Amino acid sequence: MAGQTSFGRRQVSVAPPRPAVLARPAPRPAPAADDLSPAAEAFRAQLAAGKGDGAADFADWRRSQRLSTLASWALGLALLAPGLITFAVDLPLPITLALEVLGLVGNWWLRRERQRRLKAITTWDPADAR
């Protein structure tokens, strides 16, 4: 039926078969400890020596920031729709406008707080936390 015409339609063409998908090459094995340079060995020893300290200190620091995080989340949720809140409660126009202005100021503060938190996380140093 590949070359037949039926009822004024175009000829049906058969697509050539797709080539078989080749398997991915096997990943390279990790270099053995003997293959590393002395500088890499020193770095490995340095990482192994301080492995447990940094994670616990960072977790403690993040726990100490929990109140600020919760406050910014709550403010973010409250600022999603101040106009909807005033419509649902049926507040007068001056209060609605004041709430919108507070929402704009709150959004500005929230954006600044998020940037500050991201900067604090990326520049965190265990020596500063002590």
Q: How many domains does the chain have?
A: 1
Q: Is the pLDDT of residue 117 over 80?
A: yes
Residue 112 counted as domain residue: yes
Query: Would you call 2 helix, strand, or coil by DSSP?
Result: coil
Please name the residues in contact with 69: beta carbons below 8 A apart, sequence gap of 6 or more: 117
Please name the residues in contact with 91: beta carbons below 8 A apart, sequence gap of 6 or more: 99
Tell me the average pLDDT across 10-14. 68
Residue 76 counted as domain residue: yes
Computed over every residue of the chain, the mean pLDDT equals 76
- Domain range for residue 74? 67-130
* pLDDT tens-digit readout, 77-102: 777 777 777 778 888 888 888 888 88
* pLDDT tens-digit readout, 35-47: 778 888 888 887 7
Cα gap 80→85, rounded to integer Å = 10
Residue 121 counted as domain residue: yes
**Residue 59 phi, psi dihedral angles, 5° rounding:** -65, -40
